[in-house]
Amino acid sequence: MPKWTARDIVDQQGRTFVVTGANSGLGAVAARALGSAGAHVVLACRDVEKGAAVAAEIGGNAEVRRVDLADLDSVREFAAGIDRVDVLVNNAGVMAVPKRSTADGFEMHFGTNHLGHFALTGLLLDRVTDRVVTVSSLLHRFGRINLDDPNFEHRRYRRSSAYAQSKLANLMFAYELQRRLSAAGSEIKSVAAHPGYASTNLQTHTESFWGLVIGVGHLFTQRAKIGALPELYAATVPDVAGGSYIGPRGPFGLRGYPRVVGSSGRSRDRSVARALWAESESMTGVTYGFGS
């Protein structure tokens, strides 16, 4: 199988991409690659100063707009300012941070990684022309969706469990979104991706000893430029199928060039996905409209 790289991205001139978390890490790599392919890239960032530095590297076809996925008012304000988007890349996230809440009172991982992107996608969906890409993680395999206590209010908080739950929620959302788009007869695609074990600054922002341990693990990771390939593949390959999950093709999905990969049995549980969807609409106040 040929090794798909950023050089294989087809011409993206005339197309607009919104990439969340594009101020650093995989999001910045993806934004640069999309800009190099001719796309207009909206860097959706909480840290607009860092985002501006990345946009300056890309050039005149990039712009920065502020969005804080941990604040639904910020998500709504951002979405209201977007007129059209061909591809939405739900890339941003937090990883294994100490227990804290979003502006709306949700557990930080679930609120930022899942609910923030759930709300953003729902608010923008009527302006998306091509696809939605949602970035999950290998660690979704360790996640369990606890709809009785998604915010860890009544159970012991473990940052690894909170992160894994949010990444499983990302993947289940991507699959359920595709099912609902297909049922509505929409041609918009929902595609998921994961980077494998990529060296980014996400793991070092855990504010814990775990962050130091993961930092040592960087000796065994692949570069961010390779880690970003699955989401770039998911976002740009014309014939990628809706409902696909793209990840590295190497051993255990840790490293390598992108291809369609499998996911856990829990990620395919349609009854839990429907319940998660309903709860997400209730928690965010964002109700999806798929048209007739």
Question: What count of residues does the chain have?
Answer: 292
Q: How many CB atoms lie within 10 A of CB 289?
A: 9
Q: What's the rounded Cα separation, in Å, for the pair 263 and 192?
A: 10
Of the candidates 163, 175, 197, 233, the residue annotated as catalytic is: 163
Bridge partners of 245, per DSSP, are 192
Whether 288 is a known active-site residue: answer: no
Burial 25-49 (b: 16+ CB within 10 A, else e): bbbbbbbbbbbbbebbbbbbbbebe
Q: How many CB atoms lie within 10 A of CB 259?
A: 16
Please choose, from the candidates 63, 76, 146, 77, the residue with its C-alpha nearest in 3D space to the C-alpha of residue 107.
146
Q: Which amino acid is at 281?
A: E
Bridge partners of 44, per DSSP, are 20, 65
> CA 287 → CA 16, 126, 178, distances in Å?
24, 12, 16
Which residues have a Cβ under 8 Å from the Cβ of 73 and sit 6 or more positions away? 103
Q: What's the rounded Cα separation, in Å, for the pair 25 and 36?
A: 17
189-193 β-sheet, strand order: 62-66, 40-45, 16-20, 85-90, 128-135, 189-193, 245-248, 258-260
Catalytic residue numbers read 163
